[in-house]
Chains A and B, each alone.
Chain A
Amino acid sequence: MRRVVLTIVVTIAGLVALLSFKSHLPTAPSAAVSTTGGTSGTSGTGGTPASSSSPATVPGEFPMGSLAGKLTAGETAVTGHVATTVYGPVQIQLVMRNSKIVKVAVLQQPMNTANDIQIGDFAFPKLISETLTAQTAKIDAVSGASYTSAGYIKSLQSALDNRA
């Protein structure tokens, strides 16, 4: 279980490192991010749905803060170590049921710059939902219109390659 947490933390840390190369920071992060995100459903959630009870597989919706006190029967919360990234600490928590990830919560993320907010609003939810989708579908690889080297990090295939 620790390996799963570690894998996702490593993936997110890689994502943070990658996004740090972006030079064109949006002045209005949420609006700009919703354009970039297309139809992935990440738009319009500039705030954080702290008590979201939606299924974790809905793209773009993920809770902030520990879920340890909100578990239903059969669920276990697993908290990852704090991963140090160039933008600051990242820590996530997984909720497991029958050895499968059913929810992912972000406990700590960098919140200092527009870039950090972009990561929080756009990249984290996308990465998390794709990790969950890949797990749910039990697939070995993804076929789709070619992604660029930069786009790969947000892709389902990336989630699969990082799967422990």
Chain B
Amino acid sequence: MTGGQAGRLRHAEHVMGTVVSFDVPACAGGAVGQAVRWLHWVDGTFSPYLADSDVSRFGAGEVALAQCAPELTEVLEACASVSAVSGGYFTTTPGGRFDPSGYVKGWAIERAAAMITAAGSAEHSVNGGGDVQCVGDHGSGQPWRIGIADPLRPGTLALVVAGRDFAVATSGVAERGPHIVNPHTGQPATDLASVTVVGPGLTLTDAYATAAFAMGSGARDWVESLDGYEAFAITSRGADWQTSGFGAYLT
């Protein structure tokens, strides 16, 4: 499905178990195809649901890391770093088995957005199932406006953030119910209904959102300690909080 306003092109691609939405200048439309091929390659290589993916085979001990795509080594090293920064709340074994998806999606989307930048666009966004990388602004000097879905009232927005060259990632209780486990307890994280992290690049912004959700109420102080990242959360009881610099993104 492809369409859009004059001068803009919108494309929605079913991949990685979700839908990735592109909003690009029409002149950069050719790069969307390249980005889409990259996302399908990532899916085939990193999906824990495909038995013959590198991630599945490595996780099952069928192949050594050296026999996998070199990107898997890159991802594992980055995951170890995020795990350390988050005090172990980010993990590559969230459900007990090897699954680096919490890192891979944001990383794949940020790289897809970079491909479109390399093709000459200075103003586009890529939304990977609710985690958004924005490049430049939305044309005519207008900032990107990203609605934050209200997890307690489906179909409505909790608030709108605006910015340029930024990433917005939200972790929460998804359609299938609680799915993020606190690795320190082994139990589903239940403090928060959702937490949104805003930062420069989607790779770390998304990984930090996942860690923050697992952390629960402790996430506020943790994100406060991270340079360049801000957070907004809605608790499972319907209250909300935000870090001290989050207001800069509110319109």
Contacts and interface: CB of A to CB of B under 8 A. Distances in A.
Interface residues of A, number: 35
A84 interface: no
Contacts of B132: 141, 143
A143 B171 contact: no
B42 to A, nearest CB: 15
Interface string B1-26: 10101000011101001110101000
Nearest to B147: A139
Interface stretch (B44-52, B59-67, B83-91, B150-158): B150-158
Contacts of A161: 1, 3, 10-12, 21
A145 B194 contact: yes
A38 B138 CA distance: 34
A108 interface: no
Given A142-B146, A144-B194, A147-B174, A157 B3 contact: no
B17 A144 contact: no
Size bracket of the B interface: 35 or more
B145 A145 contact: no
Given A39-B153, A130-B155, A142-B149, A149 B14 contact: yes
Contacts of B5: 163-164
B155 A137 contact: no
Given A39-B152, A143-B147, A164-B5, A137 B160 contact: yes
A147 B129 contact: yes
A145 B12 contact: no
A99 interface: no
B9 to A, nearest CB: 11
Contacts of B171: 145
A59 B12 contact: no
Contacts of A37: 154
A147 B18 contact: yes
A151 B11 CA distance: 17
Contact of B155 (A126, A147, A152, A163): A126
B170 interface: yes
B18 A137 contact: no
Contacts of A142: 127, 130, 146-149, 157
Interface of A: 7, 14, 37-40, 59, 126, 129-130, 133-134, 137-149, 151-152, 156-158, 160-164
13 contacts: A39-B153, A59-B156, A143-B127, A143-B148, A145-B149, A145-B172, A146-B105, A146-B129, A146-B131, A146-B174, A160-B10, A162-B3, A163-B10
Given A133-B155, A139-B145, 5 more contacts: A133-B156, A137-B160, A144-B130, A145-B130, A164-B5
